[in-house]
Amino acid sequence: MKASDTKAEAATSAGRPLVFSVRNLWKVFGPKAGKVPADPELAALAPAELRERTGCTAAVRDVSFDVRKGEVFVVMGLSGSGKSTLVRCLTRLIEPTSGSIAIDGEDVLSMDTTRLRELRRHRASMVFQHFGLLPHRSVLDNVAYGLEIQGMGRAARRSRAAEVVAKVGLEGMEHRRPGQLSGGQQQRVGLARALAVDPEVLLFDEPFSALDPLIRRDMQEEVVRLHREEGRTMVFITHDLSEALKLGDRIALMRDGRIVQLGTPEEIVGAPADDYVRDFVRDVPREQVMTVRTAMRPADGDEGEGGPALAPGATVFEAIEAVARTGRTARVVEDGRCLGVVGHADLLGVVAGTTAPKGVAA
């Protein structure tokens, strides 16, 4: 199965159970922070005005969203938009000012210390940008560390760690120290350590931003592969649009603490919610993100018969290639059924921006 198929499938899976459910979440830093969300006048102030009047910064402002089981949920935005604060609030590494957070229906804000520790150790593991590896321990022992904290016996945790080390492509390096590894390899150890505890959800805080572009691409592919193989729920912070588009089933685009748009990559690129988002996605090659599900139209008579067949999640780029190669209108086929067709004009409409994702005006 291709990554685009997985994405299309996840994008239409609104009925999946929820892992995180966040409502009206605020995190305000500064004096008398609690007053800001409670006072409609203060809550409505622009960031600079709020700082001037109260000395407070609203890092997260009235944010609501759900993370569904099995999806890659990306939190994207420029530096200072509130991404890290938001994701740290999910497991209360940062204490929210107001609002509600539930994991599998359980209220996170009323968890006691023991339950919170369990949440962070077993259910929602974080992969940090700076790896957080223990320099004097081997790769294997670094990966086993989370299991050690959980109280798993030495033999069992080393065997589990070896399994995960192999899964992230570090076989043969088990006995090296972190200092003997490249940046990309160290990040793999960080990833393996988070995976070893078999968490329900993996939280990534800009894990690849310190890596050079080629290694970064490698790691992105690793995440796509792991997600495809395991279907694990992931929340992924990035300030990099192409990373967000590549990895995300859905993307929450943040600005000044608010989510300005939440949607699939195709919705964000094809139907930006406002001028800010439009400007953000202006240079994205639409044909790489938009799918034939958006481009297709009903077949006219026997149109498309004998033409190439594409899955609904295939990109417009793949369709252009197929149509150009065969010189025929392509069929969009799912479970043996023809959903529609795409020809030159339909594909050009998407590239030119005159065709928006279904259900949204262009």
Ligand X SMILES: Nc1ncnc2c1ncn2[C@@H]1O[C@H](COP(=O)(O)OP(=O)(O)OP(=O)(O)O)[C@@H](O)[C@H]1O
CB of 188 to ligand X, least distance (A): 22
Beta carbon nearer to ligand X, 77 or 357: 77
CB of 83 to ligand X, least distance (A): 4
CB of 254 to ligand X, least distance (A): 7
Beta carbon nearer to ligand X, 98 or 288: 98
The residues of the shown chain that bind ligand X, judged by CB under 6 A, are 29, 57, 59, 77, 79-85, 239
Contact 101, 145 (CB under 8 A): no
Beta carbon nearer to ligand X, 57 or 315: 57
CB of 282 to ligand X, least distance (A): 21
Beta carbon nearer to ligand X, 56 or 197: 56
CB of 58 to ligand X, least distance (A): 8
Beta carbon nearer to ligand X, 80 or 132: 80
